[in-house]
Amino acid sequence: MEQSYKMYVEVGAVFERDGRIVPKWLKIGDSRYDIERVLDCRRAASMKAGGCGLRYSIRCRGQNAYLFYEDADPGAWFVESRKAVSAEEIL
């Protein structure tokens, strides 16, 4: 299996009235990426990056990617990243 790294990212999200959390954008380095669509949301483990939580399948700049919400205390968002961290490689 290809080794990935866990990269925590800054995320802007909306807390819906029914309790759902919908991510709207994420920030990698200095660039901000708007999330065009959330395709799916389910609890899943990331064996690649090492972690588990709510896995959002998102569409961003025409690319599909996973964004995880780790509902620990404190909760945090992460993406699976290859070592050389540039946003283009994740998305």
> Would you count residue 23 as binding other proteins (CB under 8 A)?
no
Tokens of 60: 């961003």
Work out how close the CB of 5 gets to other proteins at its nearest, in angstroms, rounded to a whole number: 9
Give whole-number Cα distances, 60 to 23, 63, 84, in Å.
Answer: 11, 5, 20
Task: Give whichever of 27 and 48 is closer to other proteins, judged by the CB atom.
Answer: 48
Task: Give whichever of 60 and 79 is closer to other proteins, judged by the CB atom.
Answer: 79
User: Which residues ranging from 36 to 75 are in contact with other proteins (CB under 8 A)?
Assistant: 42-52, 72-73
- Residue 80 contacts residue 91 (beta carbons within 8 Å): no
Position of tokens 């025409």? Answer: 62
Residues forming contacts to other proteins in the complex (CB under 8 A) are: 3-4, 42-52, 72-73
